């Protein structure tokens, strides 16, 4: 690949908030990108009107090629950026396996720990791990807003040195700065822990983050989620990286005494205030009567807890509550918080 990446065939599968913004910035940089969506109307808008992007990196509109379904995308892309919900992972991955070039790479932009599921179908050498550390909102088809800056972190899922990572980095740098990690599993798990707190708990109670973390019970639930997740990480031999350069789970959880406990609660109160209007993406899925990504967030912790014989009682309860809400057996309500045994 040359320095600009112009000779690289790139496919972005899923043009929601994250995928659509990535596609827009990559196309704006002059790279060869095709977008894959589910609906004909959406594809026509991308081709004829373009993706309109606003937010903290400015405003622009970019027209680009779009097709309906992975089965119709141009064969043999060099790089696939996967922006669909984790709930669509199985169907999309099966179709991707026959469209990738022998050296093609897939980068998951999704929430949760999806890389293993991708590798099971595509092979480990085709999957690049990625943490997406910035925020975006989909207002409507082709109307997307970048709500916060941040970065990408990419790495070989086996922790090996991988010269292909520099190619991925060059392309993602067109969107936001991209770092290369030799411990991408630890970075993915770090984000998974905070998502299992914010996204999963927000789904069962229906509150914004600020409302949640104003409650002592929720702060205690967050701490139990973290403790259980870290115990699972130790059993899995995962070295968990510092989240967003600020939250070191090891020191945050291990210090004892009243002062340390007060510091933990203060940190969570400040987090809640700073992101007080943050609404759980899983909650939004439930409100739209859609399946959630719980299997790839809290379910990753509980499933691996069982596998490695590590107890995860609080995560287990939250996982079951989300399942019950999905099945119409439980209402989304702050009252659910009172039922969580800690």
Q: pLDDT digits over 71-84, tens only?
A: 999 999 999 999 99
Q: Grade residue 6 by pLDDT with cuts at 50, 70 and 90.
A: low
Report yes or no on whether pTM surpasses 0.85. Answer: yes
Q: Which two tokens stand for residue 290?
A: 């859609």
Q: What is the pLDDT of residues 82-120, one digit of tens each?
A: 999 888 888 899 899 889 888 899 999 988 888 988 999
Residues ≥6 apart with Cβ < 8 Å to 282: 199, 200, 202, 203, 292, 293, 294, 297, 322
State the span(s) of the chain assigned CATH 1.10.1040.10: 187-339
May I ask the CATH architecture of the domain 187-339?
Answer: Orthogonal Bundle (1.10)
Is the per-residue pLDDT at 122 higher than 70?
A: yes
Is the per-residue pLDDT at 7 higher than 80?
A: no
Detail the DSSP E strand segments found in 143-245. Answer: 143-156, 178-180
Region 36-54: what's the mean pLDDT? Answer: 97
Q: Which two tokens stand for residue 40?
A: 């004909």
Is the per-residue pLDDT at 325 higher than 60?
A: yes
* Dihedrals phi, psi of 115, to nearest 5 degrees: -60, -40
What pLDDT does residue 4 have? 47
The CATH classification number of 9-182 equals 3.40.50.720
What pLDDT does residue 2 have? 43
CB atoms within 10 A of CB 164: 16
State the span(s) of the chain assigned CATH 3.40.50.720: 9-182
Q: What is the pLDDT of residues 134-173, one digit of tens each?
A: 888 888 999 999 988 889 999 999 999 999 999 999 999 9
* Total residue length of the chain: 342
DSSP classification of residue 241: P
What pLDDT does residue 1 have? 42
Residues ≥6 apart with Cβ < 8 Å to 336: 204, 205, 321, 330
Contact status, residue 314 vs residue 195, Cβ threshold 8 Å: no
Q: What is the mean pLDDT of the chain?
A: 93
**If 0-12 CB within 10 Å is exposed, 13-18 middle and 19+ buried, where does residue 334 land?**
middle
What pLDDT does residue 269 have? 96
């Amino acid at each position: 690949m040359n320095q600009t990446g112009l000779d690289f065939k790139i496919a972005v599968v899923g043009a929601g908030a994250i995928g659509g913004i990535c596609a827009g910035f990559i196309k704006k940089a002059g790279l060869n990108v095709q977008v894959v969506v589910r609906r004909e109307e959406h594809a026509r808008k991308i081709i004829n009107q373009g993706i309109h992007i606003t937010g903290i990196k400015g405003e622009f509109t970019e027209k680009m090629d779009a097709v309906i379904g992975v089965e119709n995308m141009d064969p043999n892309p060099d790089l696939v950026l996967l922006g669909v919900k984790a709930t669509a992972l199985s169907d999309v991955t099966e179709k991707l396996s026959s469209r990738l070039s022998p050296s093609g790479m897939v980068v998951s932009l999704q929430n949760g720990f999806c890389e293993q599921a991708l590798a099971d179908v595509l092979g480990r050498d085709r999957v690049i791990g990625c943490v997406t550390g910035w925020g975006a909102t989909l207002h409507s088809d082709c109307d997307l807003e970048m709500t916060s800056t941040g970065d990408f972190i990419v790495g070989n899922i086996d922790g090996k040195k991988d010269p292909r990572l520099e190619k991925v980095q060059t392309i993602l740098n067109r969107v936001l700065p991209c770092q290369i990690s030799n411990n991408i599993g630890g970075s993915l798990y770090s984000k998974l822990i905070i998502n299992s707190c914010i996204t999963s708990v927000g789904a069962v109670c229906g509150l914004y983050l600020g409302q949640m973390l104003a409650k002592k019970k929720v702060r205690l639930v967050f701490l139990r989620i973290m403790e259980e997740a870290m115990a699972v990480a130790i059993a899995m031999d995962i070295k968990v990286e510092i989240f967003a350069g600020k939250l070191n789970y090891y020191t945050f959880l291990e210090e004892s005494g009243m002062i340390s406990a007060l510091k933990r609660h203060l940190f969570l109160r400040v987090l809640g205030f700073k992101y007080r209007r943050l609404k759980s993406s899983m909650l939004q899925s439930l409100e739209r009567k859609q399946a959630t990504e719980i299997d790839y967030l809290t379910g990753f912790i509980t499933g691996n807890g069982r596998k490695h014989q590590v107890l995860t009682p609080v995560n287990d309860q939250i996982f079951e509550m989300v399942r019950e809400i999905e099945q119409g057996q439980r209402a989304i309500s702050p009252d659910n918080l009172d039922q969580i045994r800690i």
